[in-house]
Structure 1
Amino acid sequence: MKATVEISMYPFNQDFIPPIKSVIAGFNQYPNIDVVTTSTSTQLYGDYDEVMACVTAELKKSFEEFGFAVFVAKILGRDVRKPFTEDNQA
């Protein structure tokens, strides 16, 4: 199954740019996941299990390195870049 995750990070840190850049850099280390970053969020596209493992690992690293932050995510069970068809669900 494919997945799309759109995620935004809100660090509780005066210097908020380094934590955000670190999480985005972490997402980009996964070769099987397409990463698109905009000014307000980052979208991850790929196999559901791989995308969710990536999100879990990178959020944990962020909490351990930078402390408290809020992440807001939308998780969809398909690749939204492709037209909605029965084939796009798998």
Structure 2
Amino acid sequence: MQLTAELSLYPLSEDYIRIVLAFIDRLEQCEELTIRRNAMSTQISGEATQVMQVIQAALTKSFEEFGKQVLTAKFIPGEFSLDAAE
């Protein structure tokens, strides 16, 4: 099953930009997934199990490296992007 997740990370730190970019960079290491960045969120699309595994691994590493953060996520079956709505 294909899945798209829309993610927004909110580090509880003044150095939030560096932390968010590090999180997105970890997501982008998986070349099998489609990653789209925009000003408000990051979309990650691909096979559902792989999407969830990549999010879990990136978030765990981010927690270990940077401490407390809040991740909001929306999930929709299939491949979706903001581009398709235009």
Map residues 1-90 of structure 1 onto 2, 5 A cutoff: 1-81=1-81
Gaps of 5+ in 2: none
Task: Spell out structure 1 runs of 4+ moving beyond 3 A.
Answer: none
Query: 1:86 matched to which residue of 2?
Result: none
Determine the C-alpha separation between the residues in 1 that align with 2:42 and 2:67.
20
Could you tell me how far 1:80 is from its partner in structure 2? 2.0
Determine the C-alpha separation between the residues in 2 that align with 1:74 and 1:62.
19
Determine the C-alpha separation between the residues in 2 that align with 1:7 and 1:56.
12
The alignment yields a C-alpha RMSD, in angstroms, of 1.2
Secondary structure of the residue aligned to 1:14 is: coil
What's the % identity of the aligned pairs? 34
Q: TM-score, normalised by structure 2?
A: 0.91
Could you tell me how far 1:56 is from its partner in structure 2? 0.5
Bigger radius of gyration, 1 or 2?
1
> Structure 1 counterpart of 2:48, which letter?
Y
Determine the C-alpha separation between the residues in 2 that align with 1:61 and 1:34.
20
Higher helix share: 2
